[in-house]
Structure 1
């Protein structure tokens, strides 16, 4: 059966490896990649080589207005019959800054905007076009545990605050430091797990939501905003760790992500998949009160962009809420 999977973060690293595997393993899939600027045309051409069905929409994930425009284009193409039924969304794009002071065009701290709000807006705008069985996969991180075993001392653990505080710059101590930027990253990944739990409660039956942790994967573009030494270490030194159980190669991580997307890895809705199997996320990540609070805040933050067009009379299913 022909189907569409929408994917962010497919241009490099884990996402690129996962996109290639999805297309190899599932030739009936039309992969629609969301990429910034002219990158999308090049990426879709490269991934589509050999006859694979790949297209793109342009978006800057740091701008909710841009996310809205991209989602609207996807909806138009689905409604016009240009794309087969929507059966997947993969929120794989992520960012990490060297401070907690970088503000996006909508007034939100950039890490929170990209890692949390962009995914939430995509889910909300596309939710009533999913054709069950469908799966939403959000890439998270084991840095949300906050201990040495999971972060190797490289990333501070999450520091939860009210969502109203987390969404704005300066949420963490010494906000101009790299430590604050990395704290914003680990906290945003905890927030993403909270929202996956909430999606599992609210989405209709047949639309699953899963959080996927690729583990520590050196050599990706995540450290592109870091200092020169950190970028060098990520590219040239830390990849050696993939020879140990402490790290995962890009190809293995991409394979694991693709298997979650395609449903090869068993994971009921609301699951946390650690590399290639369902596991428990941190104890802190299971907090229904905090999850509802974050849901309500994300709804407020994205409300001006989230007005959806009325579905056709035969669509039948109301939006979640």
Structure 2
């Protein structure tokens, strides 16, 4: 049966590979890619050979942009211009070289893209999913915070109140690369917390899964890093894919497609480590934090989910900041 899968982060890296696998292996899929700027070209390239691909433009760093894109998708589904929605893939992610970058809505940019954008998409499209459906959010094993999982390259998460994490300067020496990487690993821990909440709260038949691709050199994740770091990630680190310590872009993309298509068996709430469901970190199982993050994400996105522009009163009261 024809169906729709909405996907962010399909323009490059593991997302591009995953999109190609999904279209080739599931010919009934209409893939709707959410991209900034080059969406039409991306859709044309992925659609070569007769695949069903369309696009919606959005800047995922802007909650107003996410609301607009999700609203457009919702309307297309409601009118029957798209086949039933069976999947959402939140693969887009961002890592900054500091913890001081603020998005247009006043949120710290890493938290806005990696956490709030996915949450707003899920909530705005929730009533259009047709079971069985699957939501897949790309996580990261940096959330373990130990040498085994990140070889000391990324500091572990430093959890704080979501109201603190959502703002710039949440970590010590916020202008440093270490603080930016801490913001990243912490946002990926938050992703797993929200997946656990989706598993509890979404209707039966709508599964939510966190996917960890492992360390994948050569992707666009470090595009905001300095020239030395970018060169190392693109030219030197890919050699590590010949060892057990890294995953090639092609393998990681194939694994992501396996999760999206259900080839990898994973019940709702699962953490999939590359090709199999596994346990995430001990810290990632914390119902109290999960509930607090859910409440905060709902509060931060309430004005956008409600279809109105946030006001200065919202900002001062903390409902959007």
TM-score category, normalised to shorter length: over 0.9
Partner deviation per Cα, 1:209-255 (whole Å, 9 max, x = no partner): 00000000000000100011100000000000000010000000000
* Matching of residues 170-249 of structure 1 within 5 Å: 170-249=169-248
Write the distance in 2 (CA, Å) between the matches of 1:3 and 1:277: 25
- Contact 1:125 1:308 (C-alpha < 8 Å) held by counterparts: no
Partner deviation per Cα, 1:70-127 (whole Å, 9 max, x = no partner): 0010011101111000000000000000000000010000000000000000000000
4+ runs deviating over 4 angstroms:
none
SS at match of 2:268: coil
Write the distance in 1 (CA, Å) between the matches of 2:208 and 2:160: 24
Structure 1 equivalent of residue 132 of structure 2: 133
Write the distance in 2 (CA, Å) between the matches of 1:249 and 1:150: 16
Q: CA deviation at 1:307?
A: 1.9
Q: CA deviation at 1:308?
A: 6.5
* Matching of residues 107-118 of structure 1 within 5 Å: 107-118=106-117
Partner deviation per Cα, 1:6-37 (whole Å, 9 max, x = no partner): 00000000000000000000000000000002
* Matching of residues 40-79 of structure 1 within 5 Å: 40-79=39-78
Q: CA deviation at 1:271?
A: 0.1
Write the distance in 2 (CA, Å) between the matches of 1:290 and 1:216: 26
Count of aligned pairs: 308
Write the distance in 1 (CA, Å) between the matches of 2:271 and 2:264: 11
Write the distance in 1 (CA, Å) between the matches of 2:112 and 2:151: 26
Structure 2 equivalent of residue 250 of structure 1: 249
- Contact 1:216 1:247 (C-alpha < 8 Å) held by counterparts: yes
TM-score normalised to structure 2 length? 0.95
SS at match of 2:269: coil
Write the distance in 1 (CA, Å) between the matches of 2:101 and 2:165: 13
* Matching of residues 24-103 of structure 1 within 5 Å: 24-37=24-37, 39-103=38-102
Write the distance in 2 (CA, Å) between the matches of 1:302 and 1:207: 21
TM-score normalised to structure 1 length? 0.95
Partner deviation per Cα, 1:107-161 (whole Å, 9 max, x = no partner): 0000000000000000000001000000000000000000000011100000000
Write the distance in 1 (CA, Å) between the matches of 2:52 and 2:95: 31
* Matching of residues 18-29 of structure 1 within 5 Å: 18-29=18-29
